[in-house]
Amino acid sequence: MRKDHNHLQIKGLIMENSEGKEFVMVCDSPSKPMGKVFSLSGWQRRRLVPLRHTEREHQQIVTAALLALNHLLENIPRFI
């Protein structure tokens, strides 16, 4: 079996909202039986910080993150 040297794993994505706040979506261990699990944290000065938001604000952040990721995936050039 040939080892694929072009395989990439997502470790995390840093996103910024319109207010300049940064968030990072981190991929937890892909070796878990359930597969990849993503968590959302705050991001300041190159380090993770806990998110301190209400449940509604947290849901708005997650929704915005999903929309941004969807936009990214829809606009990545397709290669043959």
Alpha-carbon distance of 13 to 10, in angstroms, equals 8
Residue type, 22: E
3-37 per-position pLDDT tens digit: 656 766 777 888 888 988 898 888 776 565 666 67
Alpha-carbon distance of 42 to 36, in angstroms, equals 20
pTM: 0.62
Question: Residue 41: which residues within 8 A CB-CB, separation 6 or more?
Answer: 23, 24, 26, 48, 49, 50, 51
37-72 per-position pLDDT tens digit: 778 888 888 788 888 888 898 888 888 888 888 888
Place of tokens 């969807």: 70
